[in-house]
Amino acid sequence: MHNRLFISGTLLLIAIVVSSCFFPSFEREKIPSGPKIGIVEIFGIIEDSKNTLKHLKKFANDTDVKGILVRVDSPGGTVGPTQEIYGEIRKISSKKKVYVSIGNVAASGGYYIASAGEKIFANPGSITGSIGVIMQTVNIEQLVKLMKVDVKTIKSGKFKDIGTPFKEMTEEEREMLYGVTKDIHEQFIEDIAKARRLEIDKVREIADGRIITGRAARELGLVDVIGSIEDATDTLWKDLMLTGEPQTIYPRKQTPSFMRELLESMSDDIEERLGLKKRGFSFWFLSPYDTNIE
């Protein structure tokens, strides 16, 4: 079994090298030089920060990009990637202007990221807020018993299987997880207060998971301007003391070849067989709400 996996992995590595030579990605044409605003989009649930950080750093180091506009349309996501993006925006803001435009929703982790911007724009009906942390587990102990499945657990410490769906959570486990949740929640509050220059007690008053509109957020000091992405772009262009029509640039998108997509699929399958992909529980900055007008 392991020999077959080793051979498969070796063949995959060879195929990747070959494909990189004969199946290159295609990028958009080179954009003319001159002052521009770099636009970084953050859409959907935040589970990874790699691409967003790469785009932010590229624009931060591009001398033609005079300022960055981050467009956020996200209900939030996992804690680590959210904090990494927040931290990178704060770091870049020390040398370049970074404004934020909120689309339909920038709640929980979406707002965490948005708060790092120097100036935040939102539509009056945008959904934001939801300052809180959530973690959920399920208990299928009775279902497992009904199916007459015997689950054996071998662990090195009493908390090692915390959050498992195969047994009822103990009060001690619940208290420990609540303590972690409170700590992360406090980090959320502190970072917003610091970035928005608000009194921490004022932030704490509304950090109970509630959602608010862009208009209400403006009154509470969580948003600076009621306006669209075009308003944000125009304002940033003017604040950069640039003339003429605003020029914007988006990160170049690579179009993967069929061969590359096939190889990635094979790679995922091998990782699954080797047991390299494991799922656990996570803490989330996530809002359960989404809004649509029909």
* Residues with catalytic roles: 108, 160
Residue located via tokens 């409170």: 182
Element (H, E) at 136: none
Q: How far is CA 177 from CA 109, 135, 170, 181, 207, in A?
A: 19, 9, 11, 6, 19
Question: What single-letter amino acid sits at 242?
Answer: L
Residue 247 DSSP one-character state? -
d(CA 38, CA 60): 9
Residue 23 DSSP one-character state? S
d(CA 97, CA 66): 8
The structure tokens listed for 55 are 């785009």
Max intra-chain CA distance, the chain? 73
